[in-house]
Structure 1
Amino acid sequence: MKYRRVGNSGIKVSEIGLGSWLTYGTASEQAAADACISTAFDCGINFFDTANAYNRGAGEEAIGAALKPYSRSSYVLSTKVFFPMGDGPNDRGLSRKHIIEQCEASLKRLGVDYIDIYFCHRYDDQSPTEETLRALHDLVTQGKILYAGVSEWSATQITEAAGISKRLNLHPIISNQPIYNMFERYIENEVLKVSGEEGLGQIVFSPLAQGILTGKYKPGVQIPKNSRAANDSVNGVINSYLQENVLNCVQNLESVAQQLGISLAQLSLAWVLRQPGVSSALIGASRPEQIEENVKAVQVELHSDVIEEIETILKQVEGFAPLR
């Protein structure tokens, strides 16, 4: 395993991290979470990500239970706040009230004394950014979180937050958590540049496009029965990728991977990690062998000719926009 600093902070995370979206507490049992986290530790992964909104806290509970046997100092744990956790008007967003209350609830569900990185799951246009940043600053000062981050914030929103933190001498945001894969590349336009200037590292989710970039889905072939795309409770995002031009593109990318003697998943993760602004790529796994395969991506170096070939293939899906 290799490790990278998160932005300008001193904390280091494994280049491959393990996430729990659509995985633990929803589509798989606790035994699977335990087995996957055990394998992750064996492979050198030290970064584990979840969110309070993942199955209304069940994702945090599953991750917390699986991490319980391990020394707290041996791993970096992140969770998030923003999405509704109840039916009340204050049970969502980034108000001081919701942030403070949900941090306490997450600590209890996770069974830990502190959260390493606490992410604002989305931007909240109903709460003043200064209020949000002051609440995060106070949580850092209290030792309940060590660092703060954001997720899917625009370049303008990141710039605004960084400016407020500097002006008020608040603890800075150290990370942005955006979607980033071969098909969804919006962060390359402005977010990467602004984040670099403001000291934020990218911890990216869905680097394998919800499994599309593993090659399991083929054009003109029925969806595998045990795949996420066949599960009506979690397949909304995945199905947006199931377009003929996307699947044809995946076939061509798989040929590139075969020529290099690696899997398509390893090629796709190495492509994401080629970006110096990326601190870690979050994978999801329901089986330990998926982790063992994916972590090999950190040893893959993509030379310029391979990257150019990939770019040529990706022109087939130029302008692709998944349904959200």
Structure 2
Amino acid sequence: MTVTEVLLLRLGELGVCVCVTVRCRPGRTEPAGGAMQVSIACTEHSLKSRGSEDRLCGARGTSAGSGCSGPPGGIQQGQAKARAGAGGRTAPQGHAHMKEAVGRHSSMKYRNLGKSGLRVSCLGLGTWVTFGAQVSDEMAENLVTVAYENGINLFDTAEVYATGRAELTLGSIIKKKGWSQGSLISLFSPHLLPSARRSSFVVTTKIYWGGQAETERGLSRKHIIEGLKGSLSRLQLEYVDIVFANRTDISSPMEEVVRAMTFVINQGLAMYWGTSRWSTVEIMEAYSVARQFNLIPPVCEQAEYHYFQRDKVEAQLPELYHKIGVGAMTWSPLACGIITGKYSEGVPEGSRAALKGYQWLKERMDSESGRRQLDKVKELHLLAERLGCTAAQLAIAWCLRSEGVSCVLLGASNTEQLLENLGSIQVWTLGAEALCVCSAR
């Protein structure tokens, strides 16, 4: 067997599409010296773990020509598959403005981040609370692996999460897996598989709280630049795809903020910038400053969004999306775990509300409004039970239906939770009617 034949066999085993072009000299019917030109075409997820794909989609061939098939009989009969993130290939109704696409090997959907050209998975993996604090480094690696294998291409962190340890943990995982500089060389090195190219996933971080010194927090030009460089050092990356201003800074002029963000993008330290927990007025001001001085405007706002926190994402941000193209990346779809029902009988040991520094969450649940929310959660659980899904899946699917939402960030402390949450895509694509009922409650 020739080297070329071995190469083609290896590529075929990996499921990579290979195109062979044979060039012959004039008058010859065979290529001189057996030379041939081989071109390789593969997608981001063509190299992902077969085991994970089979776990989520079932055995290949269950539906002709479709990778994953929807559960027969609707959501009720597909509950087990839905919890594992399986889903049909039926395109969701509406949301044409989001320019959605379906992942080749999973039910994951991809959307443009606002009106930018950046394609992100509709579900992303967040690291708040978990990485560097609540979960072990081994579990964090498992979460990143399962997330990527199932189509998630966006990983969110911040300089303040676990005082920098979340970035350190995520960076170590990316480095260990060889993702920071992954390339096609991994095709010929079995011990490197599964590997991802840096260009195939998105890393975002947030800048504001960097340290105790006066110059180590805020949105001054100094801290934006130095804070981002510190984040890149912890992440062991040359750049992040999106850097967010983690809140507004009344002591820093808007022009200074926009100029600093433009600078880090022009220097190749970030690809885009966005805002987090900014008002629509402040976002519009940043956009106006960018246009006035020929600078780069924000492309996205990170906002809290769940069944009990709706006004900003549903009533305010859609106008910005249509007018200036700012998209929404939302967080806390389960209201810090309240919607899961885990707090219905008090605060369980090991839960977020039991952690140091989260007394505010316990106080929220003990308040009158918190008790009303817990009562509403019981209704959501009943609806989810009728649909044959979990309340968590229903809540996340409910977030996905909103106009202008580019990505919903998930938090998980184990892979079982993550796989369950991935099943929300199944609920979303098959349960449009139920989501309308849920929204009206």
| TM value normalised by structure 1 | 0.91
**Structure 2 equivalent of residue 18 of structure 1:** 125
Task: Give, as a single letter, the amino acid of the residue that structure 1 aligns with 2:414.
Answer: R
Tell me if the contact between 2:300 and 2:328 (Cα under 8 Å) persists in the aligned partners: yes
Structure 1 residues 30-74: Cα deviation after superposition (integer angstroms, max 9, x where no partner) = 111111111111211110000001122111101111222123122
**Structure 2 equivalent of residue 222 of structure 1:** 346
CA drift of 1:289 comes to 1.1
Tell me if the contact between 1:155 and 1:195 (Cα under 8 Å) persists in the aligned partners: no
Tell me if the contact between 2:384 and 2:390 (Cα under 8 Å) persists in the aligned partners: yes
User: 5+ residue gaps in structure 1?
Assistant: 314-324
**Separation of aligned partners in 2, 1:217 and 1:106:** 34
Residues 93-172 of structure 1 correspond to what in structure 2 (within 5 A)?
93-172=218-297
| TM value normalised by structure 2 | 0.68
**Separation of aligned partners in 1, 2:304 and 2:221:** 26
Tell me if the contact between 1:205 and 1:281 (Cα under 8 Å) persists in the aligned partners: yes
Counterpart of 1:231 (choices 340, 355, 368) is: 355
**Separation of aligned partners in 1, 2:440 and 2:242:** 37
Structure 1 residues 87-107: Cα deviation after superposition (integer angstroms, max 9, x where no partner) = 322111101001010011011
**Structure 1 equivalent of residue 150 of structure 2:** 43
Structure 1 residues 133-184: Cα deviation after superposition (integer angstroms, max 9, x where no partner) = 1111111111110000000111101111111111212122110001010001
Q: What SS class does the counterpart of residue 106 from structure 1 fall into?
A: helix
**Structure 1 equivalent of residue 322 of structure 2:** 196
CA drift of 1:312 comes to 4.5
Residues 26-41 of structure 1 correspond to what in structure 2 (within 5 A)?
26-41=133-148
**Structure 1 equivalent of residue 334 of structure 2:** 208
**Structure 1 equivalent of residue 208 of structure 2:** 82
**Structure 2 equivalent of residue 318 of structure 1:** none
**Structure 2 equivalent of residue 259 of structure 1:** 386
**Given the superposition, is the C-alpha separation of residues 55 and 304 from structure 1 closer, same or farther in structure 2, using an over 3 Å criterion?**
closer
CA RMSD of aligned residues (A): 1.6
CA drift of 1:239 comes to 4.6
User: 5+ residue gaps in structure 2?
Assistant: 1-107, 180-196
CA drift of 1:300 comes to 2.2
CA drift of 1:258 comes to 1.0
Tell me if the contact between 1:96 and 1:132 (Cα under 8 Å) persists in the aligned partners: yes
CA drift of 1:310 comes to 2.1
Tell me if the contact between 2:126 and 2:411 (Cα under 8 Å) persists in the aligned partners: yes
Task: Give, as a single letter, the amino acid of the residue that structure 1 aligns with 2:288.
Answer: G
Counterpart of 2:398 (choices 271, 285, 291) is: 271
- Please state if 1:246 is matched with 2:373: yes
Task: Give, as a single letter, the amino acid of the residue that structure 2 aligns with 1:246.
Answer: Q
Deviates more, 1:190-199 or 1:249-258: 190-199
- Please state if 1:299 is matched with 2:426: yes
Instruction: Say which one has the larger Rg.
Output: 2
**Given the superposition, is the C-alpha separation of residues 158 and 256 from structure 1 closer, same or farther in structure 2, using an over 3 Å criterion?**
same
Tell me if the contact between 2:115 and 2:321 (Cα under 8 Å) persists in the aligned partners: no
**Structure 1 equivalent of residue 416 of structure 2:** 289
**Given the superposition, is the C-alpha separation of residues 232 and 56 from structure 1 closer, same or farther in structure 2, using an over 3 Å criterion?**
closer
- Please state if 1:310 is matched with 2:438: yes
CA drift of 1:125 comes to 0.8
